[in-house]
Structure 1
Amino acid sequence: MCYRSTLAVFGVFCCVAVFMAPGLCCLSKEYATTDMQCCPMCHKGTVVRRDCTRQLGTWCISCVNGTFMNQPNGLTKCFPCTPCDQGPGLFAQQGCTGTKDTVCDVVSGYFCKTLMDETGCSLAQKHTSCDPGHRMKRPGTSRTDTVCESCPPAYFSLEGVNCTVWTT
């Protein structure tokens, strides 16, 4: 529901009536304050230090190192940057800035088990090594694990990479 105050002037006496509709309807570039007022949003990379008043606009401050804000907002705290050191196999492909979160990717020999939309990979795992008697059907990539398969009859594999025919 919206609460948007509407002023109405009646007749010669200039009586002012305030009509309140249910719910506060702020414009798309505004946010609602706790005292039911609409204030201009802060830009990307900043958050609200002080809500607007009738005399002054919204006071916004920049996000400090280790935090970011990727959207216009009416928030009082920036989001914490995603660390890429949550486990082995990750590195920061793009560092965190005031307006963008860190984007993590995987190092060679690992694949991404949990891929997030904007922050890249959040959990990496080492590629599977094929056991002896098996060969690598498909090598692992940054997004998929290695696929192994058994060697066919009359073939063997000591190292789990390629199958070799038995000799007599």
Structure 2
Amino acid sequence: MVLLPLQCVLWSCILTAVYPEPPTECRENQYLLNSQCCTKCRPGEKLVNDCSALTATQCVPCSKGEFSDTWNRDRRCHEHKYCDPNLGLRVEREGNSETDTTCACEDGRHCTSSTCESCAQHTSCGPGLGVKRLGTGTSDTICEPCPDGFFSNVSSAFEKCHPWTRFPESDKSPGGDPHHNGDLPVCHLLGVCLYQEGGQEAEG
């Protein structure tokens, strides 16, 4: 009867040696493998061999044109983004082993998405509309209708609305009001000028 408890203790030691209990939690920038914590590869590196009971994790730097921006256990680095000029893109900042290349749009264009994988021409504000806010590399033009007293007769991505033409004061136009002048034209929205003919307005 004394041998039974001893056998249990012996088998318990053997099982513990063959199947050690895994650690409950690895530290930051480590990963669990075969019941032990291996150190991850640093940003700018990729994994070659996992750690073992006798060796540490083996990592190598990313190749030219590649990057890794986090602590990792990946066996391949990511390729740098290509800024395709056929899509209106240009390189804003070259990437390195730890960061990706940043693309931006050429002048007169804006990104079509948050990742800026392609560009679109800035919108032109048509006649009767003026530019409220100019387009940028990440946002399109914002247009607004011309208010009273202003006009636009062109399509443009940068022109604001222009004020109507005002004529100087004269003896024939008391107060400088062109509506009271029978000889000078009255310029309205879109730049259309009307002339007084026999007390009636005629388009000029």
Which TM bucket (shorter chain)? 0.7 to 0.9
- 1:108-132 Cα shifts (integer Å, max 9, x gaps): 211233224xxxx333221101122
What percent identity do the matched residue pairs reach? 31
Q: What is the TM-score of this pair, normalised by structure 2? A: 0.62
Match of 1:57 in 2: 56
Counting helix residues as a fraction of each chain, which structure ranks higher? Answer: 2
- 1:87-114 Cα shifts (integer Å, max 9, x gaps): 5332111112111111122222112332
Match of 2:27 in 1: 27
Residues 95 and 102 of structure 1 are in contact (CA less than 8 Å); yes or no, is this contact kept in structure 2?
Answer: yes
Task: Give the Cα separation in 2 of the matches to 1:105 and 1:17.
Answer: 60
Counting strand residues as a fraction of each chain, which structure ranks higher? Answer: 1
Alignment of 1:109-120 (within 5 A): 109-116=108-115
The answer on 1:93 being equivalent to 2:92 is yes
- Between structure 1 and structure 2, the one with the greater Rg is 2
Match of 1:73 in 2: 72
Q: Find the partner of 1:147 among 122, 126, 142.
A: 142
With CA pairs under 8 Å and 6+ residues apart, which has the higher RCO, 1 or 2?
1
Change (3 A) 1:96 1:50: same
Q: What is the TM-score of this pair, normalised by structure 1? A: 0.73
- The one-letter code sitting in structure 2 at the alignment partner of 1:157 is S
- 1:54-91 Cα shifts (integer Å, max 9, x gaps): 22111111111222111111111112222222853321
| CA-based RMSD | 3.2
Change (3 A) 1:71 1:114: same
Change (3 A) 1:124 1:17: same
Task: Give the Cα separation in 2 of the matches to 1:57 and 1:86.
Answer: 44
- The one-letter code sitting in structure 1 at the alignment partner of 2:26 is C
The answer on 1:126 being equivalent to 2:125 is no
Residues 86 and 122 of structure 1 are in contact (CA less than 8 Å); yes or no, is this contact kept in structure 2?
Answer: no
